[in-house]
Structure 1
Amino acid sequence: MLWGYDGWFWASVVLGALSCVICLVQAARGRAPDDFSQGSVLVLEAFLLVYAVGSVFLPVLGPDPSGSLLEYWGYLLTALLIPAGTFVWSLVERSRWSTLILAAAGPVVAVMVYRMNFIYYYQ
């Protein structure tokens, strides 16, 4: 069933994994949040904003959702808040632990997009 997911899901997996690896490497080096770690999370947030714009047009231009559209939008809004929240955290607390918090955003976004695809196409 995994191979049936669209390119947006796979893009989230790649971007989330890259962001996670970048942040984990920076944390292992003992670095506070910097342009690389924070920038990778901002790229995730930008991806989710584009995903949200596409989600507005998806019911009109694409297939009808098979699951709850309200649940889908709940997941999407929550996914939008996670990278933003970790970014704000990294601005407030400038330690290597904040870099680890930034690393968590990538896998969480990938899981959220996986669930959104499941709700929209397969439920």
Structure 2
Amino acid sequence: MILWFTIVQIAIAVIGGLFCLGAGFLGRRPSDFSVGALALIELGLILQIIVAIVAPFVGNAPTGDLLEFWTYLISAALLPIGGAAWALLERSKWSTVIMGVVGLSVAVMLWRMQVIWTLPAL
């Protein structure tokens, strides 16, 4: 993984998550902006999947457990899809709150993936 790219993704996920949480707690139903925030997070995760595939071939091999890393990455990539689907099916303020929780969860998962990728060899 690339540290600066991970930090940018985490920032986007936190900002999007806080935006959705704030909108949800203010009583806003899902909108193009809140679903768009999740779409931006998902785009970053798709790019991260590409980076994770290419990185070992250019000399940035992981030192942690690959199974754990890919489990986190695939799970994180599925979360925004599930959150957006929920928001489209149940158009209430609580689905906007759920999208905020999804954004913050992805931010935590991204940092954990960075730690797994750069884990010092024992």
The letter of the residue matching 2:52 is: S
The corresponding residue for 1:79 is: 76
Residues in 2 aligned to 1:70 and 1:22: alpha-carbon distance in whole angstroms: 32
After TM superposition, give the deviation of residue 114 of structure 1 in Å: 0.8
Residues matched between the structures, number: 119
Name the TM-score, length of structure 2 as normaliser. 0.91
Structure 2 unpaired stretches of 5+: none
Q: How does 1:1-123 map to 2 (within 5 A)?
A: 6-123=3-120
Point out 4+ residue stretches in structure 1 off by more than 6 angstroms. none
Name the TM-score, length of structure 1 as normaliser. 0.90
**Contact preservation (8 Å) 2:69, 2:116:** yes
Residues in 1 aligned to 2:111 and 2:101: alpha-carbon distance in whole angstroms: 16
Residues in 1 aligned to 2:70 and 2:64: alpha-carbon distance in whole angstroms: 11
The letter of the residue matching 1:98 is: S
1:62-116 CA distance string (max 9 Å, x none): 3221111121111100010111110100011010000000001121111111111
The letter of the residue matching 1:57 is: V
1:2-40 CA distance string (max 9 Å, x none): xxx811221122101110121122113211100111110
Structure 1 unpaired stretches of 5+: none
Residues in 1 aligned to 2:115 and 2:25: alpha-carbon distance in whole angstroms: 34
Identity of aligned residues (%): 35
**Contact preservation (8 Å) 1:12, 1:109:** no
